[in-house]
Every structure is written in structure tokens, then in C-alpha cells.
A and B are shown apart, each in its own frame.
Chain A
């Protein structure tokens, strides 16, 4: 007797194939997903809104289309959640804040939600995040912290904390997050997931609440590189409503994933990217480097200065965005965010312009570097998931705030918009991520490397021990 299809730990690709083949229905998948969210999210605190009625209606439409013999999309029946800074029609876009709760509901979905649903995926809700995305921890003073499924006393990382917790905890196989300085890659690293931050300007950001226009990116998190590629392919395309989104031809990656990595020149980032790293971060980097036979070490020039420049631009632009809210409703902010924003408002303009000038210099230097390599690998975070509430950690003998420094290795990369895939290395007791960095517009290279590492079981998304020890909890 065959068992009914269980979507809990299935990949998005497996769910879509099962729906397309009739092994299961989209409605069954969504019912199981909603039941699991109701049960498990009391602990993980990943969701801030569950859109049950909408999800059931959407799933029925997918099933109806199949019954009518219509072609199904590559994500047919795949449940997904979005960080609560994405617009969802009929839902107020919180962006992790208390202040935005007074705003009217969004009138339409973000273009990325529309594109995923056009491919057959089913939105099941909005996900917890750090307030206004100014965060690397996944903690939220208004909604409570997102909890890491591998150890619920630990951080998910942020600011896309719920996007990490929901996928790592088996609530959904796919989520969307945003990444200004590392907010997709940090939770992917701490939760043991694959995360894609595409090239700056690849995916449209309209219909999402901004943070730092110069640095904001949107992208997916998943438990497999193949699922990242499926989602990324479905979301590509120009949208003139985002001034930074370039009009480029669609470049689907899924068909190329299995082409392998022969001939790719892959190097390891030295210098800044290994300073301050805890032993587990270096162990993961070594494991990936060995598997890829990456023997060459390259120095990304002025990476620490790039991180400093990203820090300055973030502080100043973030403060500019929130200036009026700070004047009118300062007491309604998370104090940790408020005080950073107020300080950011006081940065002299000369410093911000200098950082933007440095950004262009740094971009030219890295483009030169990518003449001699196709991909660079680097740690994603300096350590595995810290405890929730942990304020500081020690980097290179200096006690530093966790909130501002979990992204020391991600910031110099997003600063110039390079495409990156964070791959999970399943260390014990906690996973940690490694960044696969490619030159602009070559997401395909980063995804092919990630897929090869997954195929060879060097990188994969481990199931939380609690779910392995007690299958009944699935």
C-alpha cells in the first residue's frame, strides 16, 4: 500500500511533480501545510499572518486547471511564504514594525508574488522579520523572535528570520526574503538553507517595503539549490516600476543546473574573509574548498573598507527613509533600531558621498578580479547561530555587537550587487553557510556550483534533530 504524499520535507520540485502527476493535489498539499503551520509555528514564530482562505482558493484553482487538462506551471501547488515587507493584497505590509500596522492593507501583490503564483505556487502567509530590516538576528521586539528550528533557543539570523525558520522547520519549502547587507544569506547560514541573493537590479523590488535603495535586493530561500533556480527563473523579468531593475533578457538557470562545474575557476577569499572567523566557519569553508578543488586563494581588495562603506550608506539612507517617522513616532520603534537610525541621520553628507565613490572604485577592482576567476567562495557568517538575546561575541579578540556584525562577510559582496548563493554545510551540532560568489549577472555559475555541492552531499539542508528523532512530529 502506498503512503500518501507528505509535503513536509519535500522540495518544491518534488511537490510540483507530485501535483502534476496526480500523485497528490495542490489542495492536499496546502491543507497539510496549514495544519503543520498551526502546530509547529507556535514554537518557531516564523509567521505573522497565515493567508489560509486565499491559499485554499488558489490551490483549488490549480487542481481545477489540472482537471481541465491545462498546463501547470513549474511550481504547481508549491506553498511559499514571504517576509512581511512584501505587499500581499488585503494585508498590511508590516516590515517588522509596529508603526506600519496603522497603514491600510496593500491593494495588490508584489510582482514577485504574482510571478511565483503565475508559475503555480501558492502563497500561505507573511513571515516575521527584524524591524524595518535593520537587523542580522531575526529578533523582533513587537512579534517576538523567530526561532531556529535546529535549536529553538538560538537565533534564525535576520533580518529575514521567519523566511529562514519557516523553510528550515519544514513549514514551507520556499520563502522570499530581502538582502540589503546579508539578510537572506545570514538566516540561510544560521538555519542551514540555500539562499540566493541575485545581482543588484535583476529582480524588481516594487511592491516591497524598502530599506536602503542603493543596496536592497530580493531573493528566495529553499532547502535545495534546484528550488532556488525554479523560483529564480519564475521571478525574472524587467519591471519599470523599479528604477534599479534592468531590462535584460530572461536567463533561465534550471535547464543548466546539471551541466556541472568542470572548467570553472574557483578560488577561496582570503584576508578579511577569514579574519575573525570561528573554527566552524573555517571548517565549513575548507570542506567546500576541498570538494571544489579550490586551491587558489584570492585577496578581495579593500574588502574591510567596502564593509565600512556599506555600513555608512546603510545608516544614512535608512535614516533618510525613516526621518519623518522618527520625528513623529520615535517611541514606537524598537529602541535598538531607533537609536541606530537617529545616529544615521547625523552622518555628514561628505561621508556618504565618499562611500558611494569608493563603491564604484571597488566594483571596478572586483570586475578585474573576475577576469581570472569564475567564482569565489567565502564564509557567510563568522559563527553558527548565537543564542537569542545574545548581545555580543568576540571577533579577533574584540567584543563586538552581534546585531551589527553577523554580516561582516556578506556586506562587502552585496555592497556592489554581486550574485551569491549561500550553501548550507551540515556541521554538528549546528549548520553554517558558505557563500558562492560570481561576477554580475552570472547567477547561473553560483547556482551550478551550489547544485554540484548538493549532489555530492557536501552541502545540504539538514533536517532539525527534533524532526529526525521523532518522526511523529513531522
Chain B
């Protein structure tokens, strides 16, 4: 039997619904890894240094400060023929 569809005219209009805010799942975000952390782990491995996990924050803080100082020096442009201070004398 064919089903007879209800006439759309007879349908009651749906009551106005309150719009709900769309809930979105938070996108799965990976915590951003500081490249310095990777550098420290890799450098410790390459140098065979025992950088234990509890020591890493202090090592990183010290390395960051030293690199900041190094960058201050690097920003100062010197001529290509600038000699380093210790010069070997034969």
C-alpha cells in the first residue's frame, strides 16, 4: 500500500527553537615543542653528556641566556679579516 503523505499544509509549524550555541570539539592540539628542548637532547646525546630529565629546565635556562649573549655578539658586524684574540705564534 502506498503510503499517502500528509499534506504539508496540514503540518503544524514547529515552535521557534532557541538557538543553541554550536558545540565544537576542541581540535586536538599538540603542545608546541620548543626547538631548544630538541637541541639539548640531541646535543647531550652527541656529546655523550648525562643531561638527566630533572636537570633539563636549568640547562635550558642557562643555554637560553648564553645564546642570548651570543646573539648580542653576533649582531655586531666585523670585517671578514677580523682575527680572533688568541693568535697562535709558531
Contact = CB atoms under 8 A, between A and B. Distances in A.
B50 A347 contact: no
A311 B55 CA distance: 21
A345 B47 contact: yes
A353 interface: yes
Interface stretch (A217-225, A301-309, A431-439, A440-448): A301-309
Given A305-B76, A326-B50, A353-B84, A335 B55 contact: yes
A339 B58 contact: yes
Contact of A357 (B51, B70, B84): B84
B85 to A, nearest CB: 4
B48 interface: yes
A361 B82 contact: yes
B83 interface: yes
A312 B69 contact: yes
A360 B85 contact: yes
B74 A363 contact: no
A45 to B, nearest CB: 26
A241 interface: no
A353 to B, nearest CB: 6
Interface of A is mostly: helix
Contacts of B65: 311, 404
Interface string B47-68: 1111110010011101101111
B18 to A, nearest CB: 51
A347 B66 contact: yes
B44 A342 contact: yes
Contacts of A340: 62
A307 B69 CA distance: 8
A309 B60 CA distance: 19
Interface in A221-261: none
A304 B52 CA distance: 33
A214 to B, nearest CB: 6
A42 interface: no
Contacts of A354: 70, 73-74, 78
A358 B83 CA distance: 9
B59 to A, nearest CB: 5
A363 B85 contact: yes
B86 interface: yes
Contact of B66 (A305, A311, A356, A358): A311
A3 interface: no
Contact of B73 (A326, A339, A358): A358
A357 B84 CA distance: 4
Contacts of B84: 353, 356-357, 359-360
Contacts, number: 103
Interface residues on A, range: 35 or more
Nearest to B83: A360
Interface string A299-321: 00010110111011001000000
Nearest to B50: A330
A13 interface: no
A343 B56 CA distance: 10
Nearest to A311: B69
A359 B85 contact: yes
A367 interface: no
B86 A214 contact: yes
Nearest to B66: A315
Given A339-B58, A339-B62, A360-B82, A347 B72 contact: no
Nearest to A400: B65
Contacts of B62: 315, 339-340, 342-344
Contacts of A351: 67, 70, 73-74
A10 interface: no
Contacts of B67: 347, 351
Nearest to A339: B58
A338 interface: yes
Interface of B: 39-40, 43-44, 47-52, 55, 58-60, 62-63, 65-70, 72-74, 76, 78, 82-86
25 contacts: A304-B72, A305-B72, A308-B68, A308-B72, A309-B69, A311-B65, A312-B70, A327-B49, A330-B49, A330-B50, A335-B55, A335-B58, A342-B59, A343-B59, A343-B60, A344-B62, A345-B47, A345-B49, A346-B44, A346-B47, A347-B67, A353-B84, A354-B70, A357-B83, A363-B85
Interface of A: 214, 302, 304-305, 307-309, 311-312, 315, 323, 326-327, 330, 335-336, 338-340, 342-348, 351, 353-361, 363, 404
Given A214-B86, A361-B76, 4 more contacts: A305-B73, A311-B65, A359-B84, A360-B84
**A-B pairs with lowest CB-CB distance, top 4:** A356-B84, A343-B62, A351-B70, A308-B69
